[in-house]
């Protein structure tokens, strides 16, 4: 009977070396996976954040529309904290300025959250739906679409080239509006990296 002579690499059998290398590769892949998951929100937290942003965006969109039809509509809550979360001119306070100028940093994240919810409750497995949402052909394009749309709105406020009653309010600067939407797109990109559909793994490496 012919005996099999193991092949050695250095002073270790090649088969043992291959097994060790494979195990190291698997452990490295697991660590990278865990590090990636550590940057993500949990499934339920992702759903809560996305739903909250969509509600905020929808409510703000309604007040933006009201402002187009009646620029003075906000005066019914002029002495309430509500004036700091609806479309209203700045009252000279920090909160008033933040509301008038910087509330729009939530615009693109709110839009992207709607896309997340579409993927979250769409067809397919959790893995397939998360892969679709994270694909730049989906989330990246939607971020660009929302950014272009909001940029057109800001240009309309400045130039009035459309038959719309959209206008700037006290406390808004056109160039800061564009900066705010740029920051909004960056926040949306970060959001697309942390929102999760697939439940977190609970297993640990051997």
Determine, yes or no, domain membership for 199.
no
Task: Let me know: does 131 contact 202? Beta carbons within 8 Å.
Answer: no
CA nearest neighbour of 140 among 103, 112, 120, 180: 112
**What is the reported pTM?**
0.75
Percentage of the chain surpassing pLDDT 90? 53
Of the pLDDT bands very low, low, confident and very high (cuts 50, 70, 90), residue 134 is confident
- Range among 14-18, 42-46, 79-83 rated most confident: 79-83
114 and 23 co-located in one domain: no
Of the pLDDT bands very low, low, confident and very high (cuts 50, 70, 90), residue 44 is confident
63 and 157 co-located in one domain: yes
91 and 77 co-located in one domain: yes
Determine, yes or no, domain membership for 206.
no
Determine, yes or no, domain membership for 58.
yes
Q: What pLDDT does residue 126 have?
A: 86
154 and 168 co-located in one domain: yes
Determine, yes or no, domain membership for 59.
yes
Question: Please, which residues have CB within 8 angstroms of residue 167's CB and are 6 or more apart in sequence?
Answer: 71, 157
The total number of structural domains in the chain stands at: 2
169 and 179 co-located in one domain: yes
Determine, yes or no, domain membership for 145.
yes
User: In which domain, by residue range, is 35 found?
Assistant: 11-40
23 and 111 co-located in one domain: no
Q: How far apart are CA 148 and CA 128, in angstroms?
A: 28
97 and 167 co-located in one domain: yes
27 and 76 co-located in one domain: no
71 and 121 co-located in one domain: yes
91 and 113 co-located in one domain: yes
Mean pLDDT of 46-51: 93
Determine, yes or no, domain membership for 202.
no
Of the pLDDT bands very low, low, confident and very high (cuts 50, 70, 90), residue 179 is very high
60 and 31 co-located in one domain: no
158 and 173 co-located in one domain: yes
Determine, yes or no, domain membership for 204.
no
Q: How do residues 103-128 score in pLDDT, each as one tens digit?
A: 999 999 999 999 999 998 988 888 88
Of the pLDDT bands very low, low, confident and very high (cuts 50, 70, 90), residue 57 is very high
What is the residue whose two structure tokens read 């509500």?
82
């Amino acid at each position: 009977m012919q005996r099999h002579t193991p092949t050695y690499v250095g002073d270790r059998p090649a088969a043992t070396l291959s097994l060790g290398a494979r195990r190291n590769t698997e452990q490295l892949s697991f660590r990278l996976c865990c590090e990636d998951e550590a940057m993500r929100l949990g499934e339920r937290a992702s759903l809560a954040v996305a739903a909250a942003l969509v509600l905020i965006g929808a409510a703000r969109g309604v007040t933006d529309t009201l402002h187009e039809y009646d620029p003075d509509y906000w005066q019914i809550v002029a002495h309430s904290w509500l004036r700091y979360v609806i479309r209203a001119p700045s009252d000279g306070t920090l909160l008033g300025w933040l509301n008038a100028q910087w509330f729009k940093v939530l615009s693109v994240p709110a839009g992207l959250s709607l896309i997340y919810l579409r993927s979250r409750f769409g067809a397919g497995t959790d893995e397939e739906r998360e892969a679709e949402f994270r694909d730049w052909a989906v989330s990246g394009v939607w971020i660009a679409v929302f950014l272009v749309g909001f940029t057109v709105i800001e240009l309309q406020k400045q130039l009035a080239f459309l038959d719309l009653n959209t206008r700037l309010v006290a406390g808004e600067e056109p160039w800061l509006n564009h900066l705010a939407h740029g920051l909004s797109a960056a926040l949306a990109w970060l959001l697309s990296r942390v929102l999760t559909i697939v439940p977190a793994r609970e297993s640990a490496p051997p």
